[in-house]
Amino acid sequence: MTEKLRVQNNAHPVTRILVISDAAPHRNGVGAYYADLIDELSPYVERAELVSPEVIGDKWQGGWMLPLPGDATQKFCLPNGFELSRKIRSFKPTVVVIPTPGLYGLMGAMVARRYGIKVIVGFHTWFEKLASLYWSRVQGGITRTYLDVVNKSLFRLADQVLANSDEMVGIARRMGAEKVDLMGTPLGQSLINTPVRKVPKKIQSVLFVGRLAAEKNLEAVIEAARACPDMTFNIAGDGPERKAIEQLARGVANVNLLGWVGREQIVGLIDQHDALVLPSKVESFGTVAMEAMVRERLVFVSAACGICAWPELRKGLVVVEEHSSLGAELARYKALSEFEIHSSCFTARKVALQHIRWNRELWLSCTQREGSDNQRSPVYRSLIHKTIRG
């Protein structure tokens, strides 16, 4: 595994962090990451704030909105460049964090460089893996070309890139990122600090939380429900595969579809269940798995989830390998004693909290490093052209 960056646990009251993201808070994994990160860093810095599209009620706000191909629940947002530039000037950040390869992210990085502000790029998702699940061959080719150009452009603009797995660190380096380090995952303070309800004694209720999307492999949840008829399976979320999942779940008496669940309900929802499952085919990390670990629940994840690549976090997970099945692992853990289940849940919370503390210290360290070099050649207008030509 990539060596972790050494960090110091110090507060930095003069730091002003502005995150500029194309992902609305808590609408997907990246949106949740930076909402939680700001929540976690705010007590240690002068100010931390997020600029992104928002979903108020059922309406997206934050610029022109275009539907995202393959997923009507997500939007491609075109920001107002003048407003974004004005926001950066008025906020006066000491560091700008860019977590997404959309127009919010690209425009934010270019403006930050123009003003000599340090730029950190968060590299979370390698969309190459998702292209075949969502787009046709032509659509996938166009999308991959766009993302390749924008990611390389962001890496040119960045003073530092933080990636969420060894694989992503390697990809960023191959794409030209010069300074790449490994980052962890934060969680919201309410989820950490709310007292944990009683630890499960046995598995009776199972929860899935997330987007109902092809890469989440919800078919495995339905199959597990059929294999374990004495357990209740609740699926919380919305997404492009909702109708297909409703069809699959029809006639399976122990499966319930809860629909979209607000962020404020997540803690209570996890606490109401004995286990959480994440059987994804593609998953950069799997934040919801760590959320359930902190709540001292049994957590079952596929080997494809990026969280499995962290040796210390893996100690608190039940990893469903390719030769096994989710239903088989649930049945195996149902046979464990109350003491064995309690021990597994205690370990899960312990290792998750250690990871969260390390990641907080990492971000505080990175946001304090020497800022952007104002003498660096401005490449704003020619950047994308240069990227295409290599």
pLDDT-wise least confident of 29-43, 68-82, 213-227, 371-385: 371-385
The per-residue pLDDT of the chain, averaged, comes to 86
Assess whether pLDDT exceeds 50 at residue 378. no
Q: What percent of the chain has pLDDT over 70?
A: 80
Same fold, 12-187+369-389 and 194-355: yes
pLDDT reported for residue 335: 94
Q: What class does CATH assign to 194-355?
A: alpha beta
55-82 mean pLDDT? 58
Cα dihedral 232, 206, 245, 269 sign: positive
Report the candidate in 208, 206, 270, 211 with the shortest Cα–Cα distance to residue 68: 211
pLDDT-wise least confident of 120-129, 148-157, 286-295: 120-129
pLDDT tens digits, residue range 31-60?
889 999 999 999 999 999 999 876 555 554
pLDDT reported for residue 217: 97
Contact, 304 vs 320, CB < 8 A?
no
pLDDT reported for residue 10: 55
- Ordered by start, the domain boundaries in the chain are 12-187+369-389, 194-355
Assess whether pLDDT exceeds 80 at residue 366. yes
Give the homologous superfamily in CATH for domain 12-187+369-389: Glycogen Phosphorylase B; (3.40.50.2000)
Assess whether pLDDT exceeds 50 at residue 371. no
Report the candidate in 236, 275, 238, 239 with the shortest Cα–Cα distance to residue 258: 236
Contact, 295 vs 269, CB < 8 A?
no
Assess whether pLDDT exceeds 90 at residue 99. yes
